[in-house]
Structure 1
Amino acid sequence: MSDGIGHPLVQARMMLDWSQEGLASRLRAAGRQCGINVGTTKKTVSAWENYRQEPDGPTKDLIAMVFAVPDARREVLPWPLWLPAPEVPELYHPWTAAGTVASLDDVLRSGRMDRRRFVFLSGITLTTVLHQWLTAEPDIAHAAAGDGRRVSAAMVDRIARRIADLQRDDDTHGGGDLILDAEGLLALVRRLLKGTFASQAQRRRLYAQAADLLRMCGWMAFDTGHHATAQRYFTVALRAAHTSGDVLLGANVLAFAAVQQYSVGDPRDADVMVRTAQTAVRGRSTPVVSAMLAARQARALAKAGDGRACYRALNRATDLLGQGRRDNDPAWAYWVNQAEIDMLTGSCMLDLGRPAEAQTKFSAADAAYGPEYVRTHVLYLSRMATAQLQQKDVDAACASASQALDLATDVHSGRSTDHIRDVAKQLIPYRREPAVRDILERARTITA
């Protein structure tokens, strides 16, 4: 698990910009102040955060002291749940139409200002959100609302076209350049939901459009490394999809949230997200949507190291995709195709230590994707370079990395930059070779 994840202690110290050593030194100082001999080190803190060890009673008292946790909080919550946690008001609104609009207000007012790079939607919090999505009855507000202005069908159609354009622009340019556009359109949808008269069918459609836009904003925030922001958007997207009554749309939100979770969080939580989505859509899905969910589940299982279950999920995805498209496939599923399954399969093989198979899948998918999918090409060319390096083929890895670098200048994506940075690190042991030195120099320019 990479960028700061499930244990509440990680979140508590990152909210204060404390490193593991910074927390350890504060605990040692607090111990001296209290006349207690404390030997806490960075290694100790790491053991706590990875659930390998739990602090003893006196050390928990010192932890409460340095985080200024009141005794009343410790009396009602067990360790480590009494530690400070990020304030996320949209988690506490009711799962009603009014609660969805209030959550929209919250996330649009403060979501993008939240620059924290850790995730908070895990464990009990995640379980609660998923349970509410599965069990709450969809609730649509009365048709009459606001000041009496009427929403025109043409306006709702126009928003739908702009959403489709944004989705495809994101494939090309990455989220960094587009999130302001998506948020602006989302603000328009919120104003229509709050201040206009609309039929129930129109309001369902507007809530679905809000869910689509919130999902995009979450994806774009994740793409630029703002993980707390991304999860806030994904959480409200799930609410909006629920209010619209579109269970497949909610499943799509969870599928994208799962990518973030297995990338920078706990892959087991990502598996729970996907399995919840699969439960919700059973009997209502299409083969394409079910194939997408199975492939995302495979990625989570590969990240968790469960090869056997991963292979089963990949086989299921391939079989489902082979059943072909249906007239009732959602419009947002346009990108689910064999190339996408091959890309995800290659990534699974890489995670499971099978680089030759990974390279074969990456090559097939890279050839199948059109040139407009710039970010996708950067991501998987970088992964292909990793697979080639694991097979000691430095020349091929340099060729793949060079192609990725050529494309990276045309896309604003933190994930793409991170992939290139990772490949550059892996190439450092070969830096005496001229081709490698060239790649490292170009990578420094891109990742600076």
Structure 2
Amino acid sequence: MSPDAVFRHPLAYARRMVLDSSQEELAALIRRAGQQRRVNIATTKKTVSEWERGREPDDTAQELIAVVFKVPDDQRVGIPWPLWLPAPDLPELYEPWTAAGTVAVLDTVLRSGRMDRRQFVILSGVTLTKVLHDWLTTQPDMAHAATGEGRRIPASMVNRITGRITDLQRDDDTHGGGDLIFEVEALLSLVHHYLSKNSPDETQRARLWAQAADLGRMAGWMRFDNGQHAAAQRHFTGALRAAHTSGDVLLGANVLAFAAVQHYSVGNPADADNMVRTAQTAVRGRSTPVVDAMLAARQARALAKAGDARSCFHALNRAHDLLDQGSHDADPPWAYWVQRPEVDMLTGSCMLDLGRPADAQRHFSRADAAYGPEYVRTHVLYLSRMATAQLQQRQVDAACASTSQALTLAADVHSGRSSDHVRDAVKQLLPYRRERAVRDLLDRAKAATT
């Protein structure tokens, strides 16, 4: 999904979530409000679009926008545009960073996740900074949060959940999370139930909080992978709180690393960089080379999206140097995927963003040769990007072959993001439709979507 398709401005959120209206419909409502007050205003769809892209409305327009959204004047006094607009109700911003607060947030996230409207990023800028600051500065509290005495939880059940989390992580690598999300959220609901209604001992509590963080991170990633950005962010926030309550700072850093991917993917590279830097600060002196390499590679992607080539190269070099140090006994289990091919894939993506298609192709080819066949979704994503790098070098036949491979693999993956990548790879071949190989591929792609 392109960045322009994701709504980040508060006006866009209010327009869609409060009024359920298009830009053109909002413009009409503002003109009507002006007519009722004998104010001549010529707001159009283009005007609203410019506001949502950052231009500030004049005072008259703001007064009429307030009328449309039923915001009283006394609620706007002293509050700058656009902060007075109706905003999402986010209890995860205000619940205390305690075990009870985390249970409450997980409950809200689980109840609201499936009602998410697509295409919204609800945490950015100031609100995101608050979450990061609270995570970084609040002392963990693992106190029992159950509402009653409840019953003890068999250790075998906790072990079973751990095993299923491992299986789900591998299944997501292969098939994508389009169907798995329902099982992940059901398992997260079970863990939430144990934490809120039962009486686990101290060791079990720590494991359950960590499981909630793992599952919340997976749920956030799967929702993001299928374009449900608000639900993804809410899961990521709940996961960050659960990791904090478990006392596992590396687990929290992993949550932020995945959440950062969402941010730089939808056009917020500065927020993504902020998230990774916060994670790096938190884990300093407590991390392993593998975890540090993962964070450096994620930071490089954000910096590439921002066009900061020098800092991006520095972060990539650091990631490669850290991987050279090898594995460590203290490496967390979730870091199994942080390998040389992954960093090569991310390096290729950075090179593509920075306008260096030949370098991108070199890294994609090296990674593709080293990655195991079980990482089906990863191959789909990077074969699609490989096709872009090849086409930018006028290698039409090679781009066609890469896109064909991606199209074949995508049939076994349920991932909106992967499907978007393949569609984009197919579309970029349209100008070359006179060539036989391209025509055949276009026909095949059309048949696959009908």
TM-score by length of 2: 0.96
CA 413–445 in structure 1, closer or farther in 2 if over 3 Å, else same = farther
Give the AA of the match of 1:39: A
Read off the aligned partner of 2:22 and give its amino acid letter.
Answer: S
* Residue ranges of structure 2 left out of the alignment (5+ in a row): none
1:46 aligns with 2:49: yes
Q: Quick one: structure 1 residues 109 and 141, their matched pair in 2 at CA, closer, same or farther if it must change by over 3 Å? A: same
Letter in 1 for 2:389: A
CA deviation after TM superposition for structure 1 residue 36, in Å:
2.1
Query: Which of 232, 236, 239 is equivalent to 2:238?
Result: 236
Provide the rounded CA distance (Å) in 2 between the counterparts of 1:67 and 1:444.
43
Is the contact made by 1:405 and 1:420 (CA closer than 8 Å) also made in structure 2?
yes
> CA offset at residue 446 of structure 1?
4.3
Confirm whether residue 20 of structure 1 aligns to residue 23 of structure 2.
yes
Q: 1:185 aligns with which of 184, 187, 192?
A: 187
- What RMSD, in angstroms, separates the aligned Cα atoms of the two structures? 1.6
AA paired with 1:290?
D
Greater mean deviation of Cα atoms: 84-93 or 97-106: 84-93
Equivalent residue letter for 1:251: A
**Mapped partners of 2:97, 2:145: distance in 1:** 18
Partner of 2:117: 115
CA contact (8 A) 1:119 1:265 kept: no
> What is aligned with 1:342?
344
**Native 8 Å contact 2:380 2:407 kept in 1:** yes
| Aligned-pair CA distance for 1:190 | 1.1
Q: Over residues 45-64 of structure 1, what are the superposed CA-to-partner deviations in whole Å (9 max), with x where a residue is unaligned?
A: 3332222x211100101111
- Residue 143 of structure 1: how far off its partner (Å): 8.9
Letter in 2 for 1:337: Q
Answering whether residue 139 of structure 2 is matched by residue 149 of structure 1, we say no
Q: Which of 393, 403, 406 is equivalent to 1:404?
A: 406
Correspondence for 1:391 among 377, 393, 416: 393
**Deviation of the 1:431 alpha carbon:** 1.8
8 Å Cα contact 1:220-1:230 kept in structure 2: yes
- Which residue identity lines up with residue 120 of structure 1 in the other structure? I
Partner of residue 353 from structure 2, selected from 347, 351, 354: 351
Equivalent position of 1:300 in the other structure:
302
The whole-number CA distance in structure 1 between the counterparts of 2:412 and 2:170 is 15
1:408 is displaced (CA, Å) by 0.6
Aligned partner of 2:97 in structure 1 is 95
Indicate conservation of the 8 Å contact 2:122/2:233, yes or no: yes
* Aligned 8 A contact 1:421 1:447 in 2: no
Bigger drift between 36-45 and 325-334 goes to: 36-45
Amino acid at match of 2:33: A
Deviation at 1:90, TM superposition (A): 2.6
- C-alpha distance after superposition, 1:224-246 (max 9, x if no partner): 11110000000100000000000
Shift of 1:77: 2.8
Letter of the 2:263 partner, please give it.
Q
Listed one character per residue, the Cα deviations across residues 302-334 of structure 1 (whole Å, up to 9, x for unaligned) are 111111111111111111111111000000000
- Deviations along 1:216-264, one digit per CA (max 9) or x if unpaired, are 0000000111110000000100000000000000000000000000001
Q: 1:214-253 to 2 correspondence within 5 Å?
A: 214-253=216-255
- How many residues align? The count is 447
Contact 2:56 2:81 in 1 (8 A): no
Q: Report the AA paired with residue 434 of structure 1.
A: R
Can you give the 5+ residue segments of structure 1 that lack an aligned partner in the other structure?
none
Q: 1:32 is matched with which residue?
A: 35
Q: Is the 8 A contact 1:171 1:376 kept in 2?
A: yes
Q: How does 1:299-448 map to 2 (within 5 A)?
A: 299-447=301-449
Amino acid across the alignment from 1:228? A
CA distance, structure 2, for counterparts of residue 144 and residue 425 of structure 1: 53
Give the SS at the match of 1:225: coil
Do the aligned partners of residues 19 and 153 (structure 1) sit closer, same or farther apart at CA in structure 2, a change above 3 Å counting?
A: same
Distance 1:218 1:78, change over 3 A: same
Q: Distance in 2 between matches of 1:353 and 1:245?
A: 41
SS of the equivalent of 2:230 reads helix
- The alignment-based identity, stated in percent, is 72
In the alignment, the residues of structure 2 paired with residue 115 and residue 5 of structure 1 have an alpha-carbon distance, to the nearest angstrom, of 11
Selected match of 1:60 from 38, 59, 62: 62
Asked whether the 8 Å contact 1:143–1:199 carries over to 2, the reply is no
1:79 paired residue number: 81
Q: Is the 8 A contact 2:181 2:223 kept in 1?
A: yes
Q: Name the CA distance, whole Å, in 2 between partners of 1:427 and 1:77.
A: 49
Aligned to 2:9: 7
Q: CA deviation at 1:5?
A: 4.1
Distance 1:333 1:446 in 2: 35
Q: Distance between the aligned counterparts of 2:145 and 2:271, measured in 1?
A: 38
Determine the C-alpha separation between the residues in 1 that align with 2:217 and 2:345.
Answer: 22
Contact 1:138 1:243 (8 Å CA) reproduced: yes
Q: CA, structure 1 residues 434+269, in 2 after alignment: closer, same or farther (shift >3 Å)?
A: same
In the aligned structure 2, how far is the partner of 1:29 from the partner of 1:438?
52
Alpha-carbon contact 1:417-1:447 (below 8 Å) kept? no
- In structure 2, give the amino acid aligned to 1:295: A
Cα deviation, residue 110, structure 1: 1.7
Deviates more, 1:194-203 or 1:325-334: 194-203
Q: Which residue of 2 aligns with 1:137?
A: 139
The answer as to whether partners of 2:361 and 2:390 remain within 8 angstroms in 1 is yes
List per-residue Cα deviations over 1:390-440 (Å, max 9, x = no partner): 111111111000000100110000001110111122111112222222222
When structure 1 is superposed on structure 2, of 426-435 and 389-398 the one drifting more is: 426-435
Letter in 2 for 1:268: A
